[in-house]
Amino acid sequence: MGSFLENATPIPLCFEKNGSCYRTLHPFGAQVAIYLVCTLGILLTVLGNLLVIISVFRFKILHTPTNFLLLSLALADLFLGLTVLPFSTIRSVESCWYFGDDFCRLHTFLDTVFCLSSILHLCFISIDRHCAICDPLLYPTKVTIRVACIYIAMGWGVPVVYTSVFLYTKAIEEGLGQFLQDVPCIGSCQLLFNKLWGWINFPVFFFPCLIMIGLYVKIFIVATRQAKQINSMNKRTGSQHQLASTKRERKAAKTLGIAVGIYLLCWLPFTIDTMVDSLLDFITPPVVFDVLIWFAYFNSACNPLIYVFSYRWFRKAVKLVMTRQIFYARTSSVNLYQEE
């Protein structure tokens, strides 16, 4: 018996101390592959959203309420890629958290703030597109730069307050004692391990999604009807300017509708798992949880790719940025909407 215990392979731990989490060992080749994939995702997220920010900031013709909302959305995704994803990569590959409890709390705070900010921005963009398509005559007066700034302030303020209450308020933590699981092992970064969190997070993410779906269904119906009316009017009057303007609005609504659809595809599996997991005493295996959370993170890299394939103005802006023509003063006044 003693010989068996001496020859037994020791169980890998995150730290050589009592109460340490078990560490999942991956083959070296698998570790390298995961690091490469995560690094590629981070680069796509950072560079893609940086191009969106530079384009909207640099070109005056893009200084519209809708594009300022896109700029703020890109900032949320950029910050996620810079401050959250590198540490999440190490945690996913090494299956341990090596950066301490205080930074774990900050990491969870930033993660939740940036992700929740993204969905609120998409919700506000949906409202913006709804006004532009369904009430085009009043849109310039209803949705102004000031209104966009209010939306942006809410898109950042609400996530910060919401997350701060649950992460940095002791009264909330003490009042939920009956919901808390056992304290996680050393080397884990799972601060929000209570059942109520799963139930609260679900409507916080899901209700804005329902709002967006409802708005885009109405947008699709109205845009289809308008397209028929415009085609009929164009045959009689040949009003190309009105046709081009309305076509651009419909294109923006369609593109942002795709962005919302991809957001739902990326985030719903993780959100639903969070709620179901809280009901079943957190039975999701760590590997499955990592796959779901990285699938959700991937959404932050998707929006710039959507813009590249959908917006001619974004492709032209990227070309000007990549060829360093943005450093010329005259470039800021380029009409990116003009057909070549």
Residue with tokens 């593109």: 255
The alpha-helical segments, DSSP class H, found in the chain are 2-7, 28-58, 65-79, 85-94, 101-134, 139-142, 145-168, 170-175, 195-237, 240-279, 286-297, 299-310, 312-322
Burial class (CB in 10 A: 0-12, 13-18, 19+), 85: buried
Q: What is the pLDDT of residue 194?
A: 55
CATH code of 22-332, in short, is: 1.20.1070.10
Instruction: Calculate the CA 318 to chain-centre distance.
Output: 21
Instruction: Return the domain boundaries, the chain.
Output: 22-332
**Beta-bridge partners for 20:** 186
**Cα(18)–Cα(187) distance, rounded to whole angstroms?**
11
Number of Cβ atoms within 10 Å of the Cβ of 299 = 22
The b-or-e profile of 169-187 (16+ CB within 10 A means b, else e) is: eeeeeeeeeeeeeeeebbb
pTM: 0.84
Q: Which residue from 257, 226, 248 is spatially nearest to 126, judged by alpha carbons?
A: 257
SS3 13: strand
Q: What is the pLDDT of residue 68?
A: 93
Q: What is the pLDDT of residue 133?
A: 81
Q: What is the pLDDT of residue 46?
A: 94
Q: Which residue from 196, 114, 123 is spatially nearest to 159, judged by alpha carbons?
A: 114
Q: What is the pLDDT of residue 269?
A: 85
**Cα(198)–Cα(101) distance, rounded to whole angstroms?**
21
Amino acid at 68: F
* DSSP at 22: B
Q: What is the pLDDT of residue 154?
A: 95
Q: What is the pLDDT of residue 326?
A: 74
* Rounded average pLDDT per 10-residue block, the chain, 340 residues: 50 76 80 90 93 88 89 94 93 85 88 90 88 84 91 95 80 52 66 59 77 82 72 60 57 72 84 74 74 87 80 81 75 66
